[in-house]
Amino acid sequence: MKRPLALLALFYCLGIILSNLLRINFWVIMCIGLTIVFAANLLKKHDYIFFAFVLFATLLIGVLSLKNSCTLSNTHIVNFAYPGAWCSLSGFIDSFPEPKDKHIEFIFRLKEAQIEKYKWRCCGRVLVRTEVRQKLNYGDNLMLIGNLQPPPALVPIRGSYKNFLARKGIYLVMRVKDPRQIILKPGKRGNKLVGYSFWLRSKVEQAFSRFLKSVPAGILSAMVLGQKHNIPWLVNDSMVKAGTVHILVVSGFNVGIVAFMANLLFKIMRIPRRGRIILTLACLVIYCFLTGASNPVVRATIMGIIFLSAYLLKKQPDIYNSLSTAVVFILIINPQQVFDIGFQLSFASVFAIVCLYPKLKKLIRLDTCKIKIWRFFCEGLLVSFSAWLGTLWIIAYNFHIIAPVTVLANVFIVPLASIITLCGFTLAVFGLVCPALANLFSFPVSFLINLLLSLNAAIIKVPFAYFYL
């Protein structure tokens, strides 16, 4: 079989989905799995039968991985806390504190808890919402005093907010309103690389805010860093209607720009080819942490690592195997990501482009067109149409909207967004290294962002541009 890894990734995903639908005993699955492994070992001389057993075993591994991810430790805070209980929690901030409307949110990783007179070592993560305007950073060692509550049952899309947090391993929320409820302890915890990435992200955001107005700075932070908290609601709503909201999410294109710029810089520095590839790989990993390691970035980073490693080893990379490796890598870390809409959209769009675009291009015989500008426009249209078809059912089911104008919008919006992103990276570099020259890029970035917003607003005024279900 040419691409066995793609089929294994598919069966692994099916196993996770099956585990969510059916409540099967863990030990029953283990017995079935051991029987399959034993049978496959006996029939390994028969290739097709052996591979069928391997696929079924992969399915069971997917079932077991989800069950294992849903099994909480005996010392998990959710086993002891009850709604409304006032408690004292000790631990550290395990995320970047982000402003949300009138409060700040961060994830708190527990080390110790005390409820009433009982004190014990525990584990787990709690979502903290605080109205206290205190300077907090990733890795800060804290003691929090407050009451724990289950997440609110908000339903912004299909599924509940509670399930969304559960996929991140968060089952409890603490609200902090008084500065006396936050006690800062000496020392730092957490991963140093992650901490440095968050520090660098805040510096880049400060550079954007310094050289740009609030709206362009917020949009550029979303496009370059994946930080959407400063985007006005009207801008986000307009892009949802046009189907161009994906440009506000850091994706594979951003990873490609980082790889290109890093490789070009190291080439100018006359670093040998092997050294350039290794340093570029390191830059991709750092950028992945810098943007919060969202699904599109992790997927693109893994694919970039595989492609660059293939060139390092002088082998021909395969897009399907690279995509499958990214799927398996993400789901091994957190199997519940298969139910995340961002995960589904990210992989569905890339798979649709890879699978449908060459077939559509061959069907209309685009290679026979001799007018280069027209052929370039049609290629962009086919890529956009392929991605739209691949993600249509996910968007319609979860967001109750269908936007046919997306196919046309992305032909114009995506190239413009690409130029803005490239300028944004340049502005970030000069803003950190040489602020005096950063002003040279602030005007063109602002102009291009305003042009993008105007173009997007004009596109959604096209008749039948979008309609709600």
In tens, the pLDDT along 178-206 reads 888 888 888 888 888 888 888 888 888 88
CB-count exposure of residue 160 (10 Å: 0-12, 13-18, 19+) = middle
2, pLDDT greater than 70? no
Residue range 34-47: average pLDDT?
A: 63
Q: Greater confidence, 120 or 33?
A: 120
153, pLDDT greater than 60? no
- Between 435-459 and 214-225, two packed helices, what is the crossing angle to 10 degrees? 90
Lowest mean pLDDT among 152-161, 221-230, 376-385, 405-414: 152-161
34, pLDDT greater than 60? yes
Q: Greater confidence, 317 or 124?
A: 124
List the CATH code of the domain at 77-190.
2.40.50.140
- pLDDT at position 42: 61
Lowest mean pLDDT among 140-154, 158-172, 431-445: 158-172
- Residue 199 tokens read as 């520090």
Single out the residue of 197, 186, 167 nearest to residue 90, CA to CA.
186
Contacts (Cβ under 8 Å, ≥6 apart) of 48: none
Q: Greater confidence, 250 or 137?
A: 137
Q: What confidence tier does 108 reach under pLDDT thresholds 50, 70, 90? A: very high
- In the three-class reduction of DSSP (H, G, I as helix; E, B as strand; rest coil), residue 117 is classed as coil
DSSP class of residue 119? Answer: E
94, pLDDT greater than 70? yes
- Residue 349 tokens read as 């769009």
210, pLDDT greater than 70? yes
- In the three-class reduction of DSSP (H, G, I as helix; E, B as strand; rest coil), residue 466 is classed as coil
Q: Given the structure tokens 């340049």, which residue do they identify?
A: 426
User: How far, in Å, are 128, 166, 171, 215, 294 from residue 336 at the CA level?
Assistant: 22, 9, 14, 34, 14
What average pLDDT is seen over the chain?
Answer: 81
Residue range 461-468: average pLDDT?
A: 84
Lowest mean pLDDT among 121-125, 172-176, 405-409, 436-440: 436-440
- Residue 92 tokens read as 């550290």
Lowest mean pLDDT among 35-39, 113-117, 314-318: 35-39
157, pLDDT greater than 50? no
User: How far, in Å, are 19, 55, 246, 250, 399 from residue 219 at the CA level?
Assistant: 39, 44, 12, 11, 22
Confirm if 383 and 395 have CB atoms less than 8 A apart: no
Distance CA(108)–CA(97), nearest Å, equals 10
Single out the residue of 111, 137, 220 nearest to residue 438, CA to CA.
220
Q: Greater confidence, 38 or 361?
A: 361
CA angle 121, 161, 155 (to 5 degrees): 160
**Is the alpha carbon torsion for 163, 164, 167, 172 positive or negative?**
negative
Q: What is the pLDDT of residues 230-289, one digit of tens each?
A: 788 888 888 888 888 887 777 776 777 788 778 888 888 888 888 888 888 888 888 887
Q: What confidence tier does 109 reach under pLDDT thresholds 50, 70, 90? A: very high
The full set of domain ranges for the chain reads 4-70, 77-190, 250-330
Confirm if 192 and 412 have CB atoms less than 8 A apart: no
Q: What is the pLDDT of residues 384-425, one digit of tens each?
A: 888 888 888 888 888 888 888 888 888 888 888 888 888 888
Residue range 426-431: average pLDDT?
A: 85
Phi, psi of 407 (to 5 degrees): -60, -45
Distance CA(368)–CA(247), nearest Å, equals 32
154, pLDDT greater than 80? no
- pLDDT at position 155: 47
CA 398 distance to own-chain centroid:
18
Number of H helices, E strands in the chain: 15, 10
Neighbours of 274 (CB within 10 A): 10
- pLDDT at position 43: 60
